[in-house]
């Protein structure tokens, strides 16, 4: 295990100053992404006349490509590029993508999706990597720090659907897409000025020749087990994203077609309901962050594997609520908007136990030489989950009933949770040695 830098014990419980500019940069970039994402399926179905299956396929290919490109971006950064250049390159490509979506021609639409996905490949793994490097020497605050970082993501996720969704659905679809580009441009400016205040140490990379991941160096004998643990949790994150990403596809269409969206005499655009999840993140994120920090001080913070187990259980509960909502909808009743609120509440709790924890875990566990490419592998699992989510959403009407469709995600979530917990029990000692760097003294201890 690499030893953390020696720091003052008091300072070890204080978050680094550099998190603010990265928080704001991520916020503006996510505003642009989630604003566009809220419009994508609705635009395809309502404006272009796509079928649910065709719209789901486009959503699947786009969102999976968004999380596939970080593998390439991480590899190129690890081998050839600086972190700063990759982030600027990714930001510029995404800005061009949003501008391309502002044109009505279908070829520009597809070009815009490609540019957005490529840009994300350079931006996202490197932004997460350098944020994690701020916490070198402060492992106890890492999960809490990434939860704060995740709040930046979801502040953008809250504002994006409201701004871009309202403009797109109420005024003009392409104006909504263009407004997402404005958010991306602001993010580039924020990063330019904010990055000057970050410690220079986080930009430094180890020089190496990229080849097969080494396991023969006795000084780094844990490299292979670390990577295997990253791959294990990345695999189980597929269960999460396959269900969670119904939010932008089938749940978005459920909000459009089966939900009573009138509040105080005003019909809320379906895309705006995509802001419920990030709103819950902003409300619950500080609470969860405080819980992780408090437990860390008491040496009782659950390890990432157990947090993943809890996440999948909470996700299953959320989709149980959705099964009930679907049964009401199948009777011809426009269901209350509160059903989606409750679904997103449980999904949010699940997300807070998995997504920021996963980012924190990979940034901590990945050997420094391969930090970006392993972060890319984490996002690769997201790609598989997003692809499955989009394809499944397009065929929700072919499951016999909507209740059966959403019940499938209940089964997958609970099954994934039980399977991961079983693996944890079988390999508990080895996993804890990797996570803590210490032999397990008390067989009951799970920290």
Buried b or exposed e, range 276-290, using 16+ CB within 10 angstroms: bbbbbbbebbeebbe
Burial class (CB in 10 A: 0-12, 13-18, 19+), 419: middle
Alpha-carbon span 323 to 337, nearest angstrom? 14
Mean per-residue pLDDT for 12-37? 78
Kindly indicate the confidence band of residue 439, based on its pLDDT and cuts at 50, 70 and 90.
low
Please, what is the average pLDDT of the chain? Answer: 81
In the chain the domains, ranked by start, together with CATH numbers, are: 17-200+221-436 (1.20.1250.20)
The pLDDT assigned to 11 comes to 47
Examine the pLDDT at 206 and tell me if it is beyond 70.
no
| Mean pLDDT of all residues in 3-26 | 63
Tell me the backbone φ, ψ of residue 119, rounded to 5 degrees: -60, -40
What's the whole-model pTM score?
Answer: 0.74
Q: Is 2 helix (H, G, I), strand (E, B) or coil?
A: coil
- Which residue from 290, 318, 420, 308 is spatially nearest to 360, judged by alpha carbons? 308
Q: How far is CA 39 from CA 42, 53, 252, 347, 361, in A?
A: 5, 17, 9, 21, 32
- Report the C-alpha gap between 169 and 172 in whole angstroms: 6
Higher pLDDT, 150 or 101: 101
Q: How many CB atoms lie within 10 A of CB 215?
A: 12
The values of phi and psi at residue 273, to 5°, are -65, -15
Residue the block writes with tokens 């006349």: 49
pLDDT digits (tens, 9 = 90+) for 92-145: 999 999 899 888 888 899 999 999 999 988 988 788 777 877 777 666 676 677
Residue 10, CA atoms < 13 Å, CB-side half-sphere:
0
pLDDT at 312: 96
**For 102-222, where are the alpha helices, taking DSSP H only?**
106-133, 142-160, 166, 173-194
Please check the confidence at residue 214 and state whether its pLDDT lies above 50.
no
Q: In the prediction, which pLDDT does 220 show?
A: 53
Average pLDDT over residues 171-188: 87
Look at residue 372 in the predicted model and tell me its pLDDT: 67
What's the average model confidence in pLDDT over 312-325? Answer: 95
- Long-range CB pairs of 40-47 (<8 Å, 24+ gap) are 40/248, 41/248, 41/249, 41/252, 41/253, 42/168, 42/169, 42/252, 42/253, 42/256, 42/270, 42/271, 43/168, 43/173, 45/253, 47/173
What pLDDT digit, counting tens, does each position of 82-103 carry?
888 888 999 999 999 989 988 8
Residue 20 and residue 368: Cα distance in Å, rounded?
A: 23
In the predicted model, is pLDDT for residue 79 greater than 50?
yes
Closest CA to 435 of 124, 37, 1: 1
Q: Closest by alpha carbon to 24, among 113, 173, 156, 218?
A: 156
Strands 335-336 and 262-263, by their bridges, are unpaired
331-375 pLDDT, tens digit per residue, is 888 889 999 999 999 999 999 999 878 877 887 777 777 776 777
Is the pLDDT score of 285 beyond 60? Answer: yes
Radius of gyration of the chain measured on its C-alpha atoms = 21
Identify the DSSP state of 137.
T
Q: What is the pLDDT of residues 371-403, one digit of tens each?
A: 767 777 787 888 888 888 888 887 777 787 889
Tell me: pLDDT of 38 over 60: yes
- What's the CA gap between 353 and 284, in Å, rounded? 11
């Amino acid at each position: 295990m690499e030893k953390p830098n020696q720091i003052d014990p008091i300072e070890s419980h204080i978050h680094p100053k550099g998190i603010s500019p990265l928080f704001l940069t991520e916020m503006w970039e996510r505003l642009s992404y989630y604003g566009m994402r809220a419009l994508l399926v609705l635009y395809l179905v309502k404006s272009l006349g796509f079928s649910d299956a065709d719209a789901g396929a486009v959503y699947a290919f786009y969102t999976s490509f968004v999380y596939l490109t970080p593998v390439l971006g991480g590899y190129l950064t690890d081998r050839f590029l600086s972190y700063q250049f990759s982030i600027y390159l990714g930001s510029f490509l995404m800005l061009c993508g949003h501008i391309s979506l502002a044109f009505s021609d279908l070829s520009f639409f597809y070009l815009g999706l490609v540019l957005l996905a490529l840009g994300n490949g350079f931006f996202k793994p490197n932004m997460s990597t350098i944020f994690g490097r701020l916490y070198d020497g402060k492992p106890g605050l890492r999960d809490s720090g990434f939860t704060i970082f995740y709040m930046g993501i979801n502040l953008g996720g809250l504002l994006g659907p409201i701004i871009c969704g309202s403009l797109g659905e109420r005024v003009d679809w392409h104006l909504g897409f263009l407004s997402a580009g404005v958010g991306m441009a602001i993010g580039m400016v924020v990063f330019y000025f904010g990055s000057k205040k970050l410690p220079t140490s986080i930009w430094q990379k180890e020089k190496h020749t990229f080849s097969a991941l080494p396991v023969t160096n006795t000084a780094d004998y844990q490299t292979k087990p670390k990577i295997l643990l990253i791959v294990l949790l990345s695999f189980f994150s597929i269960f999460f994203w396959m269900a969670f990403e119904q939010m932008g596809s089938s749940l978005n269409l459920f909000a459009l077609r089966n939900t009573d969206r009138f509040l105080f005499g005003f019909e809320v655009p379906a895309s705006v309901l995509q802001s419920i999840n990030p709103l819950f993140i902003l409300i619950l994120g500080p609470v969860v962050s405080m819980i992780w920090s408090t437990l860390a001080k008491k040496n009782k913070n659950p390890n990432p594997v157990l947090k993943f187990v809890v996440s999948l259980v909470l996700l299953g509960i959320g989709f149980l609520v959705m099964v009930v909502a679907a049964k009401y909808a199948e009777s011809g009743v426009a269901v209350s908007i509160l059903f989606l609120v409750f679904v997103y509440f449980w999904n949010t709790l699940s997300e807070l136990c998995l997504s920021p924890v996963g980012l924190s875990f990979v940034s901590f566990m990945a050997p420094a030489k391969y930090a970006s490419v392993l972060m890319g592998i984490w996002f690769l699992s997201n790609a598989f989950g997003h692809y499955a989510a989009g394809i499944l959403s397009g065929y929700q009407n072919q499951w016999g009933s909507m209740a059966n469709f959403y019940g499938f995600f209940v089964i997958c979530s609970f099954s994934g949770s039980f399977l991961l917990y079983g693996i944890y029990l079988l390999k508990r000692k080895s996993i804890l040695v990797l996570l803590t760097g210490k032999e397990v003294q008390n067989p009951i201890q799970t920290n």
